[in-house]
Amino acid sequence: MIVDINCDLGEGVGNEEEILPYITSANIACGFHAGDATTMMKTVETAARMGVKIGAHPGLPDKEGFGRMPMSVSLEEIKSFVVYQIGALEAFAKVAGVRLNHIKLHGALYNMASIDYEISKIVTDTIYQIDKEIIFIGLYNSPMIQAAKDSGLQYLNEVFADRAYNSDGTLVSRQTKGSVLEDVDTCVSRAMRMLNEGKVTSIDGIDIDIKPDTICVHGDGEQAVLLAKKLSQAIRAGY
C-alpha cells in the first residue's frame, strides 16, 4: 500500500522541481500567506506535468507572518478567504488541464480549525458548495474531520512527519521549543511508526493513537527534499 505524501508548495522556497518527484499531493499557496499569480501558475503546471495531485492551500491574509499568527476574524470572513483562494487556484488548475483534487488549510487557519468545530464547519460547508467532489485534508481525529463528515465531504486524516504532538493529539505550537523536528531519520522513523503501529509519542512522552491517510512534509524546511525522498523510499519499501 502506498500512503499519500502531501507537501505545502508555491511558498517562495523554489524547491518544487526537487521535491515533487517524492510526493503525491501538492498543497499550493494561493496568495494570502504566500505566493502570487506567477508562482501559482508555475507550481500548478509543474505539479500537473509530474502527475502530482493538486490542492489549494488557503491561509489567513498575512504574508508578513507567513500565515502562522492567529487573527481575530469572523466566520463570514473565513468563508470569503476560502472562496477567494480556492477559486483562484481552481482557475489555474483548469487552465493547466487538471482538476482541483483537495483542500488543506494553512498555518494559523489550520490550527484554529483543528480545535474549533464552527470554523471547520464553515470551511467544509463552503468547499462542498464549490465542489462536493473535492477532498478535505484535516488533522487526524480533530473537529476538522468531523466537520468534513457532517458536510458530506470526502476527507483524509493528516499526520505530520516533522511536527511534535501534544498528548491530546493537537500540534505543539511553533512558539514552543521542540515543536518542529529537524532530524530527517527521526521524522521518517516517527512516520513509519504511525503507519506500522498507529502510535506516536507526544512531547510529554505519552504514546497516543494515530491513523494516517496522508503524511505532511513541510516544503519550507531546510531538509524538506531529503525528508520527502527518504520518507517516500521507506513507504515504497513497505510497512
At residue 1 the predicted structure's pLDDT band, cuts being 50, 70 and 90, is low
Q: Tell me the mean pLDDT in the region 20-49.
A: 97
At residue 239 the predicted structure's pLDDT band, cuts being 50, 70 and 90, is low
Instruction: State the pLDDT at residue 222.
Output: 78
Instruction: State the pLDDT at residue 126.
Output: 99
Q: Tell me the mean pLDDT in the region 24-42.
A: 96
What are the distances in angstroms from CA 14 to CA 20, 87, 189, 197?
A: 11, 23, 27, 35
Amino acid at 173: S
CA dihedral 45, 46, 48, 49 (to 10 degrees): 110
Mean pLDDT of the chain: 95
Q: Are 164 and 171 in contact (CB under 8 A)?
A: yes
Q: Which CATH class is domain 4-236?
A: alpha beta
At residue 111 the predicted structure's pLDDT band, cuts being 50, 70 and 90, is very high
Residue 49: is its pLDDT beyond 80?
Answer: yes
Instruction: State the pLDDT at residue 220.
Output: 78
Which pLDDT tens digit goes with each residue over 84-94?
999 999 999 99
Which pLDDT tens digit goes with each residue over 205-227?
999 999 999 999 987 777 899 99
